[in-house]
Each structure stands twice: as structure tokens, then as C-alpha cells.
Amino acid sequence: MCRGMGIFHTMETTLKAIYRGILFPILRGFSHFLQRVSSRRHSITMPAVDPFQASSREELLHLCQLAFQDRPPLLNRSFVDVCPSSVEESEGKTIRLMTWNALADALCNGTENFIKCPKEALNWQTRKFRCMEEILTYNPDVVCLQEIDHFKDFFQPLMRQIGYAGSFNPKPDSPCLDCLHNVGPDGCALFYKEDRFDLLDQSLPILEADRRGSVYYTNQVAVLNKLQLRSQEAGKMRPFLVGTTHLKAKPGWESLRYKQGRNFMDIAKTMSNGCPIIVGGDFNAEPVEAVYRLFENEFVSAYKSAGGLNQEPPYTTWKIRPRGEMCHTIDYIWHSKDSIQPVTLLQFPSGDEIGENRLPSWSYPSDHFSLVCDFVIKP
């Protein structure tokens, strides 16, 4: 790390240590006191549902829907066939992948300021049911999640309960840790159905970047799994590598996003050893950015190539904050060019269907939409 950057990093680390070690406990204690006082006056009704009672996907989905029976339903979305001729040939061998920034709980109630969303809809004890409903509705074989801060106490045990194996890679210096009501760092998670796949290899890297000849760790992470369909399904189908990441946010960090994307790509290529690659993640980059072009040179964007319009969706995130309305395309599914064929894609709701208050809402639990695609791995 260069000298100037090292000094800045030391100062930043010192200030954070003072905040988290001295000021943060005081503020957190005071905040908890105010919450107790407020709860006596304005209690929030929590759903009387225990998701840990479920023993199957169908039962868990039903319990999640039951928790919202007095609220608007989850936004309705449908699949569109993008390669119908492959459907019959690939019956039983399609792989459904979901990627989704599910919105960290600590950020949701801390720094994000979703001014049009009812506070009760942002409360984790309510919102967690809708998050799980979104995943279970589409029954993915592989799930790539970003901005997850309830991995150990919610996502992992529930997904394991219905047959998924999962891994989690927390950010080294997650912004969640600076939020008063955090439960730990956020990060990326990847789940897969254990009855369909064998895990051949795994990597949980912290993404690196370079500056003036020195390489340093950034605050962004990734999860990569090499999977193989189990023998009774596989036939001639090759193993494949699936990865997820969440690149640096906010304008002004385009160069860092490019370097993080390049590092992720290098890791994926080395780990894949020539097998097909699928990547799902929040790149925090519009299609005009260099990191997008970097991936487009090596991979195919499932939604752009198979969507019929040769362009990305008009938005993958749409929210209203105090500084205004924000509508961007920054989430993607990428795949190897010649060895993978998309079969179906999950469509996005219209602006009218989303509603004038945008995301999140009672009808959708995150400020990002999930992307879901069915793939066939070519022999």
C-alpha cells in the first residue's frame, strides 16, 4: 500500500475504533432506551408465525405468505421463454439461478432513508418473511445473495431446513457495523440445493485492487462455488462455476469497481479451469461503466442477450430517498459465451405495478429486484 494511502487508512481506522469502541456503545444504549419507551406507546404487531416449524419449501412458503395475509401480496412477476427449442431437450437438466441484493437490515433502518416506505414494512421481524417468500416463490437451484446481515440467525438455518447448503463471506469493514441496530457485518452468500449438486471447490476471497504498483484488500467480497450436477442427472453435463459479488457503491468509485471486477474475473477464470462460469451480483455500475464492458468482453449478459431487445432491463433498483428518486440498472447475471444457454428469464414489473412510492414497500422487501434465469449447460 502506498504511503499516502497508508496514512489515510490509519487515520480512518483510528477514528472508527474510537467511534465503535467508545461512542457507539453509548449511542446504542441510549437508542435502545428510546426504543423501549417508544414501544410502550406505539407497539408494532409482529406476525405470529414461526418459520422454523416448516419442513419443506412449500410449507415454509405458506408460512411466509400467512405472515402477510393482511397486507398487499408480493409483486407478481412472470417468466418468459427466451429459447423455447431448448426446453424439451433440457427437461430435468435446467439450472435456475437467482441473484438478489436483499437489502441489509442494519442499512435498511440506519442509513438508507427510504422515505416513502412505511416503517413497519422495514422492520426485520416483518420484512424477513417477505424476503424468504421472494426466494421460495421462484424455487431457485442456486441463490446468489448480496447485502446479507442475517445469515447465521435466519437465512442459513432456514435454507438448510429445506435442503440448501450455504456459505457466507462478510465484508471486512461492513458499513452495517456503524449502524446502531446492527447484528454484525453484511456480505455475500451463496446457496445451492444439496440434492442436485455436489460441491467440488469453493473460494471466499476479499477482492483486491492496485494503486501505484501496490496491491491492497478492498472492503468488497465474493463467494465462488464449483458445482457438479449429481450423477443421476448429470449425463454429459460438465461442472460449472457460480459466483456472486457486490462491488463498491456510489459515484466516484468507477476505477475501484473496475479493479474489483478484474480481480473477481481473474479468480473465477483460474478456479474454473475451463469449465462454464455463471456470475450473479450487484455491480453498482450502469452499462456505460468500464467494469460492465470488462465483463461484456468475456461473458454474456443473460438479460441483455436473451431478453430480445439487445439491451439491459430499464432498471434493477428503483427507490426514493431524501435527495430524490433513483432508478438504475446495476444488477446482472453473466455467463460463459459458448457453453451456457439461457432458457427462461424472470420479467420485471412495470412502474405502475411497482407503485408511485417505489421500493421497498409492503409488496416488495428490497430496493433491488431479484434476477432469475433458467440455464442449460451445454455438453
Q: What is the pTM of this model?
A: 0.89
Residue 48: predicted pLDDT: 73
What Rg value do the Cα atoms of the chain yield, rounded? 21
Question: Same structural domain for residues 299 and 249?
Answer: yes
Q: Tell me, yes or no, whether 288 and 327 share the same domain.
A: yes
Same domain as 338, residue 256: yes
- pLDDT above 50 for 110: yes
On whether both 208 and 324 belong to a single domain, the answer is yes
Q: List pLDDT tens digits, range 9-62.
A: 556 555 665 656 666 566 555 554 445 544 444 455 666 789 998 999 999 999
Peptide bond into 360 cis (omega under 30): yes
Of 130-139, 270-279, 302-311, least confident by mean pLDDT is: 302-311
269 and 364 in one domain? yes
pLDDT at 84 over 80: no
Does 198 share its domain with 335?
yes
Same domain, 21 and 149: no
| pLDDT tens digit sequence for 144-157 | 999 999 999 999 99
| Angstrom distance (rounded) from CA 6 to CA 134 | 42
- CATH number of the CATH domain containing 80: 3.60.10.10
> Is the domain of 72 the same as that of 28?
no
At 209, which helix (H) or strand (E)?
Answer: strand 206-211
Domain membership of residue 154 as a residue range: 47-377
Please check whether residues 13 and 73 belong to one and the same domain.
Answer: no
Residue 2 reports pLDDT greater than 90: no
Does residue 120 have a pLDDT over 50? yes
How many domains, the chain?
2
Same domain, 216 and 134: yes
Same domain, yes or no: 368 and 225: yes
Cell of 165: 447448503
Mark whether 197 and 300 lie in a shared domain.
yes
pLDDT mean over 290-315: 94
Q: What pLDDT sits at residue 250?
A: 95
Of 314, 354, 319, nearest in space to 74 by CA: 354
Query: What pLDDT score does 109 carry?
Result: 78
Q: What pLDDT, on the 0 to 100 scale, is given for residue 83? A: 83
